[in-house]
Structure 1
Amino acid sequence: MAATPRPAGASGRTGRRVRGAPYAFLLPAVTLFALFFALPIGYALYLSLRKVEVKGLGLGRGARQEVWAGLSNYADALTDSQLLSSALRVLGYGAMVVPAMLGLALVLALMLDAERTRLSGFSRLAIFLPYAVPGVIAAMMWGFLYLPDVSPFYYLLDKAGLPGPNLLDGGPLYLALANIALWGGTGFNMIVIYTSLRSIPVEIYEAARLDGCSQLQTALRIKIPIVAPALVLTFFFSIIATLQVFSEPTTLKPLTNSLSTTWSPLMKVYQDAFVNGDIHAAAATSVVIAVVTLVLSFGFLKAANSRSNQGETP
């Protein structure tokens, strides 16, 4: 029986629908990206180029008017001593947090990947679980543990006749903040590294065992070099999270006078926008922070990629 011929225009319409299908699938993601990412960034850039001009006492209709400011807000942000001080504090904080977090995550991942490890599933869950706790709740919990009047640790130290350190004042404050970041972020980094370890072929371990390599030698000479890309990725994420630290110092601020309202750059943005009411200066500072984060991140990735390419060159 002869097949019924299809109309000439039907194949053309079907081809157009097939070619347009990928764009239809991408449309929801592009729409969400435009509404919740690109549009806010564009609006922040617009606000950063404006300022409020006050006439007279600032009273009455038309006394406060938004005018074009050009790059004056950026000049003020780059010469702001409070922003520079907050950036230096965050750099010191990151110098403590990032190496300790990645080192601990790597050690835990190697321990869980060892052959004789028991209850590895429960251990992974227990280590990762703090990451699921919101940063504000984690900071509140640790903040109360740092207070001598309510902390059980200070009670035990007092009963033992030992002095309790003041973790919310001076230099120990950095350790207190770093501890919260370590407690919450180590699990995530450990899961990333552990997943990379589990993807290593078993044949490599068997060859190392036949060559007489111990567990330590296998970890140092095989596992760590292979999971180097995962370490680069976790370092990248940790740098971004460090530069954007906000919840921990903001939550601990009511518990100590050692934390200023501009302790971190994002706290400075919050202070300008919602306390001082200068949304335009806050927008300019946000753009500066975003650009610095972008430059540092891409600079590090470029350096890591070039180092990796040099290592692969025979």
Structure 2
Amino acid sequence: MTSITAMAASRPARRPRRQWRGWLFVAPFMIVFALTFLAPIGYALGLSLFRDQAFFGGTTFVGLDNYAQVLGDAKFWESFLRVLLFLAVQVPVMLLLALVAALAIDSARLHAAGFFRIVVFLPYAVPAVVATLMWGFIYGDRFGLAADLNHLLGRDVVAPLSSGWMLASIGNIVTWEFVGYNMLIFYSALKVIPNELFEAAAIDGAGPLRTIVSIKLPALRGAIVIATIFSIIGSFQLFNEPNILYTLKPNVIGTFYTPNMYAYNLSFGGQQYNYSATVAIVMGAITAVIAYAVQLRGARKGM
């Protein structure tokens, strides 16, 4: 009996048979993911390694020459610095307004909080094209609210579509569109805070401001990081608003006002598909690096 037990113990344990059934469940997602995400990126990477031959026709392999050209392209860096300035000013203002709105709705002192929440979120339901057209009519210096104010004052005082105010006007449109979206992210995070924390703060005599600083804001750290990352990505992807306003003020915006507009006009206006793909890839890489850095910094502060 002892020898049988020893022999059984000396035998190597059988490895469990690998089950492939799980892959059958994830296969539809993997196929769609490969076709809609990986394949376009691979195709764009392939385009960026070639260049059209102007005189002989066709394309020729140039390796990383297109990337070197982008890094020395003044138009690309001008558009990049413009959206970077847009990000540095517009994103903090938008997130601050969204945070204030979420805290106001979450407080018990705001009357008709449900109605206020719907009103703040409603602009997000408006398509970006419709919102830009609407604000374009308001900004118009020959029609709309700006023109009426100038006519009332007897001089051109309000000029939202001028070169000095164009970026701020676009920032106003984007802020109007996405304050409600970010407010909903913050409000959702506030609703999962345990009530025991508020009860303990009330027992300790903490007022509303102390409760916000010590309980609500620390609980919102993760939501603020997520909203910041989404806002950074959205800022670098800025396209709809300036592209639509371009029809009103083409001499102010131009064809390379943002990197996305530059890539779009290179591809569909100049037929430079290879260089356009290179611009898009470089911009995507920069966006990914900055968003990842923000995520790491937010994760470290949350520890």
Q: Secondary structure at the match of 2:95?
A: helix
Q: What's the Cα RMSD here?
A: 1.8
Q: How many residues align?
A: 287
1:51 aligned counterpart, secondary structure: strand
> Residue 291 of structure 2 corresponds to which residue in structure 1?
297
Residue aligned with 1:28, SS: helix
Aligned with residue 178 of structure 1, among 152, 171, 174: 171
1:264 is the counterpart of 2:258: yes
The answer to whether the 8 A contact 1:77-1:284 is kept is: yes
Distance 1:163 1:220, change over 3 A: farther
Is 2:144 the counterpart of 1:117? no
Inter-partner Cα distance in structure 2 for 1:118 and 1:162: 42
Out of 114-123 and 192-201, give the one that drifted further.
114-123
Indicate if the aligned counterparts of 2:267 and 2:273 stay in contact, CA closer than 8 A.
yes
Maintained 8 Å contact 2:102/2:187:
yes
Identity %: 37
Q: CA deviation at 1:271?
A: 1.4
Alignment match, 1:207: 200
Aligned to 2:42: 42
Letter in 1 for 2:229: F
> What is the distance in 1 between the residues matched to 2:21 and 2:111?
49
Deviation at 1:213, TM superposition (A): 1.4
Q: TM-score, normalised by structure 1?
A: 0.87
Q: Aligned-pair distance for 1:64?
A: 0.5
Counterpart contact for 2:139–2:145, Cα < 8 Å: no
Structure 2 counterpart of 1:7? none
**What residue number does 2:132 align with?**
139
Query: Tell me, which stretches of 5 or more residues in structure 2 are unaligned?
Result: 1-15
Is the Cα contact below 8 Å between 1:49 and 1:69 reproduced in 2?
yes
Tell me if structure 2 keeps the 8 A contact 1:158–1:164. Answer: no
Q: What is the CA-CA distance between 1:21 and the residue it aligns to?
A: 3.7
3-state SS in 2 of match to 1:90: helix
What secondary structure does 2:252 align onto? coil
1:94 corresponds to which of 87, 95, 116: 87
Q: 1:273 maps to what in 2?
A: 267
Counterpart position of 1:251 = 244
The yes-or-no answer on 1:26 pairing with 2:26 is yes
Match of 2:142, SS state, is: coil
| Counterpart residue type for residue 134 of structure 1 | P
1:195 aligns to what? 188
Shift of 1:132: 1.6
SS at 2:52's partner residue?
strand
**Secondary structure of residue in 2 paired with 1:64:** coil
Instruction: Provide the residue aligned with 2:160 in structure 1.
Output: 167
Matches within 5 A, 1:217-236: 217-236=210-229
The SS at the match of 1:67 is strand
Deviation at 1:110, TM superposition (A): 0.1
1:288 to 275, 282, 296: 282
Q: SS state of the match for residue 289, structure 1?
A: helix
* Maintained 8 Å contact 1:97/1:178: yes
The match for 1:129 is 122
After alignment, is 220-229 or 20-29 more displaced?
Answer: 20-29
Letter in 1 for 2:23: Y
Question: What code does the residue aligned with 1:120 have?
Answer: A
Take 1:180 and 1:242, find their aligned partners in 2: how far apart are those partners? 12
Deviation larger for 33-42 or 114-123: 114-123
Q: For residue 74 of structure 2, what is the aligned residue in structure 1?
A: 81
Contact 1:272 1:279 in 2 (8 A): yes
| Aligned partner of residue 111 in structure 2, secondary structure | coil
Aligned-partner Cα distance in 2 for 1:227–1:136: 31
Equivalent AA in structure 2 for residue 282 of structure 1? S
Q: Which moved more, 1:37-46 or 1:253-262?
A: 253-262
